[in-house]
Structures are given as structure tokens and as C-alpha cells.
Structure 1
Amino acid sequence: MKHDQLIALDAIVATGTFRGAADRLHKSQSAISHSIRQLEAELELDLFSRDAYRPVLTPAGEVFYREASRVLRQMQGLRTTAAQLRAREEPELTLAVSATLDLDPLLPALAETGRRHPVTHLRLRMEMMGGPIARLMEGQADIALASLEGVPLNDVEAEPVAEVTIRPVASPGLGLPTGSRALAASEMQSHVQVVAAGTGGATHDQSRDLLPGGLKWTVSDLAAKKKVILAGLGWGGLPDHMTEAERRSGALLPLNVEGFPPRRTMIFKMRRRDRAVGVVADELWNRLGQPSPPAADTGPERPRR
């Protein structure tokens, strides 16, 4: 039994086909098929039923695959450990972050990482829609902070770190009816919906929370989107942390639009399973999502003279 045979098995299950596994591993389909045939011969087991169009694990294959997955994770962990033992500080570390996330809770982790590793160049990329996961899978980011939408879960390690609420808002100058009643989609179609362009490619452009048949403007980022909405030129969803002061002052009004309730999204920290984790990246990973340490207690304030 060889490591590359287990990798081929995992790739077939993950992609659903021998062709998909070959493309994923950059090998020929015949090489993948030969590797699995050798493994089955050695085990004296049929791992896949080939009666259907797509390969399906046999009952014995399912049990073997579960154990093989555990072994592969352990071997990846050993590789990561070895890489950390021989590694020095990375010259550069890139963090791709969803632009909807409030950066304030992340700053202590970044500050401490920068203080402990001043030689490492920290690069922070704010991305829209599927941008963070696209940068991670392209190898342009070491860690991504984003929702799990469109994420290849077999290929990444993910842990929750924060929750974001996106709420539709508009300026009073837009002239929308006020009150608690829900606004029908037909009432909103004559008002421009402002959306932000994705940075993950055409497949990651905004597709949900779009008013069907309505007018639409597209801007480059959330800061521009907020300015356009504040100017009374349209309406759209913005993260609560970006609009808190304006909603309190009345400069922006939360909207009750049919089919567009406030959307709560969990944000995860993510890193690729197939890449060795550097020393600085691992430290930052462990800090992300952790509560900030309490401020030092300096005792009661002395009265001024």
C-alpha cells in the first residue's frame, strides 16, 4: 500500500470520477485507474462498484476510505510539523479578508503577530464575494476569512471566527415609505439597488439578494456603496458595523423589504490542507477569533491634587 494510492482514492471520492481525480492530481486517467487496481489487488477488495456511470464506493470501500482519510490527515499533519521544525519566519504572509467583516476585532491579533515577527511582511487583502477563497485556492493568500459559500471543504481547514449581519438600508432622501410594513418587490423595482462587484471572478459575482427586474448599479467596494446609498441614489445591503452610527442618527434607515430580511453569515478562518503551514501563519491562525486579552488593571485612580 502506497501513499499515492491513498491520495488517488481520496481524489476519486472528492471529484466523483477517475477523470476528475486525474485532472486534480495532474496525472493521466490510466495512471489513476492502474493505481486503484493495484491497491484493490493488494487488499483483495473491490473498493469501487463500476456498474454505474460514476464510480461508487462499495460497503467495504466506504469503511476503508474512512480509515484512509484519517491516515492522510495524519500524514499531512506530520508534513506540517516537519515543515515547522525546519522553517524560519516567512518573508511575507497574506491574509485575504471578506470586506463585510469588521476589522477592529482582528487588529489585536495582527498587532501581536507584527510585534513578534517584525521581519515578516504582513499583507492584508480586502476582497468581495468569493474573492478570499479564490485568492486562497490560487495560492495568493495563506489564510482567508470569509463565509463557506462556494468553498471546497475537502481542500481547506475551516473554523468559525465571527458573525456578520447584512441589512438593507436607504437614505431618507430616497423617499421610500416609512413604517413597519414590508415593502413589496414591486415598490422597490423603480429604485436603484446598489451592489458591489465581486473580486473572485465572474463565477463569484453577486447572485443572491438581488431584486428581480429592478434597476441596479454596481460599484467597486463597500465604501463606495455606502456613499452612493447615503447620497440617496439607491438602496442596498451593508454590514451592520458599517452603518451603526448612521442608523442611530437617522442618516440611514433599515428597510423591511419582502424577501430581503437581514442576512446573518458566519465568517470562518480557512487555510489549505495541502500546503505546509509557516511559523508566522500558524501563530496568526491560532490568534484569529480568540478574545482580546483584558486591559491591565492599574488599580484605582488617584485623586488629582
Structure 2
Amino acid sequence: MTLEQLRALVSVVDHGGFRAASEALHKSQSAISIAIKNLEEELRVEIFEREGYRPLLTDHGKVLVQKARTVLSQARDLSDLAQHYAQGVEAELRIVVSEVFDIQEVLRALRIIRDQYPSTRLTLFVENFSAPLEILEDKEADIAMVAGGEMFDKIEMTRYEKLCPVSLIPVVSGCSREQKDASELTKEDLHGATQVVVTDRSRNRDERKYGILETSVPWRVNDFLTKKQIILSGLGWGRVPLHMIGDELASGDLVPLSSSDFGPVEIETYISRTTNHPFGPVAEAFWNLIIQRDYEKTNKITVKLQ
């Protein structure tokens, strides 16, 4: 039994077939088929039923796939740990950030990281809702900056620190027919109106609605930039992170809905890492910079409020 055979097995399951698995692993379809056949012969167990159009797992196969995932995960942990010991300073830092974060705050920390560790490569993903935590769970990132903490109880071995919440502000376009009385609009006034909503497509979907009106007509998009542009064009209303719309609020291109029926929605935010993943000096430095900058920002907000 080899890790390559286990990777082929898991890939066939995850991608729904031998051809798709071969494309994902950049191997020929025959190589994938041979790997699975050899694995079945070595284990003396039929893993797939091949009667239908798509290969289906046998009952034994379902159990073996779960075990294969565990073995592959442990192999990645071992490889990461060995690389960590061999290199000292990480060759690459992988960060995934929820779209609700102010990316400029992240870039300020990364500027310091680049100056201190110029040879370390960076991979930066921007995702929505619970997707960053899934990417962290799959060991495709070293650090995740996550919006909403309800998913932490579904993922084991996770360490996290709470950061400042992000405010989602309900707004309508300044060119909208409704903008004149935006400060007085109620939920009843927006009955049947278009509400632009960012949808969560991650597998551990966060089902919270973040202020979606039951009487609205939802238009669903997959990112806040598209949502902002739709609202700016006067096609609907919705909640957008405050840091994304400061200029538009100042210019009047966007108008906040400020009646007692509306108000900002506060989303909890966190920085997170898995406890069984080795943390090198570059990741540690980024982690501490984000926490320190967030602490300084919190103090500024507190002083301002006082």
C-alpha cells in the first residue's frame, strides 16, 4: 500500500470518477485505475462497485476511504513538521482571509513580514463566511482570519484569538428612488424590495441570515464587491462592511438606512490556526502582528468612544 494509491482512492471519491481524479492529480486515467486495482488486490477487498455509470463505494470501501483520509492527513503533518525542522524559516506562508476583513490591515502586517523574511513566498486567499475555516481544516492554509465563530465547535484541534467585530451597514444607492427618505425607511417600506445577499457556498455552511428580511426579494451573489456595485447602481439594498463603503457614504453615493428597524450588524471575527500544524517564525510573526494591531485599534476605538 502506498500514499499514491490512497491519494488516487480519495481523489476518485472526491471528484466523482476516475477521469476527474486523473485530471486533478495530473495523471493518466489508466494510472488511477491501476492504482485502485492494485490497492484492492493488496487489501483483498472490493472498494468500488463498477456496475453503474459512476464508481460507487462498497460498504467496506466507505470505511477504507475514511481511514485513507486519516493516513493522508497524518502524512501531510509529518511532511510539514519535517520541512519545518529542516528549513527553520518557512519557505511559504499561506493565509486565508474572510472577505469582511479590511484587506489593508492585512497588507500592513504583510509589508512588515516581507521586510523581515524576504525569501518567504506568500499565498493569500480571500473567501467568504466559513470557507476560510474549511481551508484551514484541509491544511491548505497556515492561518485563517475568520468571520463568525460558530463553526469552531465543528472543527477539532483549532486555536483562535478574538479580533474586533466588523460592522455591516445597511445602505441604498444615492440614485435610488428610495434614497430621499432612507433615514426613515422601515421594514414595511421595503416589503418586496430587492435585497442583495452574499451567499455562503462552503460545505459547512453558516446558516445565519445576517439581517435578511423575509419579505424581501433576494438577489444572491458570491462576494461583497459585486454586492456593493449592484447597490450602487440602484438595483437593491443590502448590508456591506463599513470599511468598504467609507468614500461612498461620504460622497452620498450610498445612503445608510438608519431608522429604528435597521442598524449595523456586528460580525465576530477571529484569527485561527490548527494546533497540530507546526508554526514557524514567519507565521508566528504574522499572527502576533495581527493581534497587536487589532489590540491597538481596539484601544483607539475605546478612547474615541470615551
Please indicate the TM-score interval, normalised by the length of the shorter structure: 0.5 to 0.7
Runs of at least 5 residues in structure 2 that lack an aligned partner in the other structure = 1-62, 68-79, 297-306
SS at match of 1:187: coil
AA at the equivalent of 1:155: M
CA offset digits 1:65-86 (Å, max 9, x no partner): xxxxxxxxxxxxxxx9998665
Tell me which structure has the larger Cα radius of gyration: 1
What is aligned with 2:131? 131
Runs of at least 5 residues in structure 1 that lack an aligned partner in the other structure = 1-22, 28-79, 295-305
Residue of structure 1 aligned with 2:257, choices 250, 255, 258: 255
Shift of 1:135: 1.0
What is aligned with 1:70? none
Q: Is the 8 A contact 1:195 1:216 kept in 2?
A: yes
Shift of 1:262: 0.5
- CA separation in 2, counterparts of 1:236 and 1:143? 30
Q: Does 1:89 align with 2:92?
A: no
Shift of 1:215: 0.6
What is aligned with 1:143? 143
CA offset digits 1:92-117 (Å, max 9, x no partner): 22111111111222222111212222
Q: Does 1:196 align with 2:198?
A: yes
Q: Is the 8 A contact 1:127 1:199 kept in 2?
A: no
What is aligned with 1:211? 213
What is aligned with 1:290? 292
The 5-angstrom pairing of residues 30-49 of structure 1 reads none
What is aligned with 2:105? 105
Shift of 1:260: 4.2
The 5-angstrom pairing of residues 151-300 of structure 1 reads 151-152=152-153, 155-176=157-178, 178=181, 180-181=183-184, 183-201=185-203, 203-204=205-206, 207-256=209-258, 260-291=262-293
> Residues 150 and 260 from structure 1, CA distance in 2 versus in 1: closer, same or farther, beyond 3 angstroms?
farther
Shift of 1:259: 5.3
AA at the equivalent of 1:98: S
What is aligned with 1:121? 121
Q: Is the 8 A contact 1:191 1:214 kept in 2?
A: yes
What is aligned with 2:14? none
AA at the equivalent of 1:280: V
AA at the equivalent of 1:133: L
SS at match of 1:129: coil
- CA separation in 1, counterparts of 2:124 and 2:189? 40
AA at the equivalent of 1:276: P
> Residues 195 and 280 from structure 1, CA distance in 2 versus in 1: closer, same or farther, beyond 3 angstroms?
same
AA at the equivalent of 1:236: G
Q: Which structure carries more helix by proportion?
A: 2
- CA separation in 2, counterparts of 1:98 and 1:168? 19
Q: Is the 8 A contact 1:162 1:289 kept in 2?
A: no
> Residues 159 and 266 from structure 1, CA distance in 2 versus in 1: closer, same or farther, beyond 3 angstroms?
same
Q: Is the 8 A contact 1:130 1:200 kept in 2?
A: yes
SS at match of 1:115: helix
AA at the equivalent of 2:242: D
- CA separation in 2, counterparts of 1:205 and 1:266? 15
- CA separation in 2, counterparts of 1:180 and 1:260? 9
> Residues 91 and 82 from structure 1, CA distance in 2 versus in 1: closer, same or farther, beyond 3 angstroms?
closer
Shift of 1:125: 0.8
Shift of 1:136: 0.9
- CA separation in 2, counterparts of 1:202 and 1:186? 33
Number of residue equivalences: 216
- CA separation in 1, counterparts of 2:82 and 2:288? 18
CA offset digits 1:17-49 (Å, max 9, x no partner): xxxxxx9xx78xxxxxxxxxxxxxxxxxxxxxx
Shift of 1:289: 2.7
Q: Is the 8 A contact 1:197 1:206 kept in 2?
A: no
Shift of 1:192: 0.7
